[in-house]
Copies of this chain bind each other. A is one copy, B any other.
Amino acid sequence: MNTFGDKFRFTSFGESHGPAIGGVLDGVPAGVRVNLDRVYEELDRRAGRVPASDASGNATSENASRPVVSQRALSEPDRVEWLSGLMDGVTTGAPIAYIIRNKTARPEDYDHLRHILRPGHADATYLSKYGIRDHRGGGRASARETASRVVAGTIARQMVEEQGMHIHAWVSNLYGQPLPDDSQLLRSHLAALVSQFPGDSFGAVVSCVITGMKTGLGEPVFGKLQARLAEAMFSINACKGFEYGVGFDSANHRGSEINATSGGLLGGISDGSDLTFRVAFKPTPSIALEQDALTVDGLPVKLQIHGRHDPCLAVRAVPVVEAMAALVLADMML
């Protein structure tokens, strides 16, 4: 299943080491002006290629040395080829299709993984389900697939913002440490962790707030706004938990204490107040430390994954969380 949404439908395709990834966005009304530069800004955020003023709007001069993203991401420019659905930057009502070529695909880099099932990855389950496995970088399970979501999500986002709704996410907890919305602080904390635990990776929580919420989004029973958001967030790799409003902490409270707090919705329908939710991400499963693994034949093996991987995948998940939230809202708005 590679399509998300009922009326505003996003279909994703492409493997990380095939010729291209891409998407089709169907159900977009005609006459929407799309700012294509905005798409590149969001792709840069996802790739960790942050310009002089970073994604959170805080000035920073230390981009060159920041350890938050992999080298591969930095050297992998995402150029979007728009194939259909737009005329002079305005939607025509036809499906919007686009591709991003995988320029640096070097399948041979993955040859040493041909017979190994990486722990914490989808290698074993894909092999079991499909009887076939694309060992080159994870195939469809690769985080690269999320670039396609960011493109579609940015179009959705512009429609959502035209209605006055704004989506903002940030890493609010890193390896157990609560953090304010400050990307410089995040980087220095992450750098310190990387020094302390070299070769390892770290779990985190991404918080998101949607301001300017329209009332009436969401439907009772099986189309609840929170259910769609949860489904969207759990479609992101490494997501292990989702909560909205008071969330899991509501289990520690009495009705008289929290009855008046809605978290942005009641009965599955937005009430116009800010919508807040949090998404837990496990640590990147690809670590440089030696791990126990199994071969495809079930033999135990010591695995050391080379190359540079994100020490905390939640960092790059932030724009993906926003993109998926935008897709949910756009679908519910129509």
The interface of chain A, by Cβ under 8 A from chain B, is 1-4, 9, 11-15, 18-22, 24, 26-27, 30-31, 81-85, 87, 90, 92-97, 99, 119-126, 128-132, 134, 139-141, 145, 173-176, 197, 200-205, 215-216, 219-224, 226-228, 230-235, 237, 239-248, 250-260, 262-263, 265-271, 280-287, 289, 291-292
Question: B125 and A266: CB pair below 8 A?
Answer: yes
Question: B13 and A125: CB pair below 8 A?
Answer: no
Question: A15 and B84: CB pair below 8 A?
Answer: yes
Question: B216 and A240: CB pair below 8 A?
Answer: no
Report the bound CA distance from A120 to B134 in whole Å: 48
Q: Which residues of B contact A175 (CB under 8 A)?
A: 251-254
Q: In the complex, what's the smallest C-beta–C-beta distance from A316 to chain B, in angstroms?
A: 15
Known contacts A120-B260, A220-B141, A291-B256: does B231 contact A83 (CB below 8 Å)?
no
Question: A240 and B246: CB pair below 8 A?
Answer: yes
Q: In the complex, what's the smallest C-beta–C-beta distance from A123 to chain B, in angstroms?
A: 8
Q: Which residues of B contact A124 (CB under 8 A)?
A: 266, 271
Q: Which residues of B contact A233 (CB under 8 A)?
A: 230
Report the bound CA distance from A63 to B134 in whole Å: 44
**Which residue in B141, B234, B284 is a CB contact (below 8 Å) of A267?**
B141
- Pairs A-B, 10 closest by C-beta atoms: A122-B267, A1-B223, A241-B243, A201-B255, A255-B283, A125-B269, A30-B130, A227-B234, A13-B97, A250-B282
Question: A256 and B287: CB pair below 8 A?
Answer: yes
Q: In the complex, what's the smallest C-beta–C-beta distance from A14 to chain B, in angstroms?
A: 4
Q: Which residues of B contact A200 (CB under 8 A)?
A: 254-256
Report the bound CA distance from A11 to B228 in whole Å: 18
Question: B253 and A216: CB pair below 8 A?
Answer: no
Q: Which residues of B contact A241 (CB under 8 A)?
A: 241-244, 247-248, 250
Q: Which residues of B contact A4 (CB under 8 A)?
A: 222
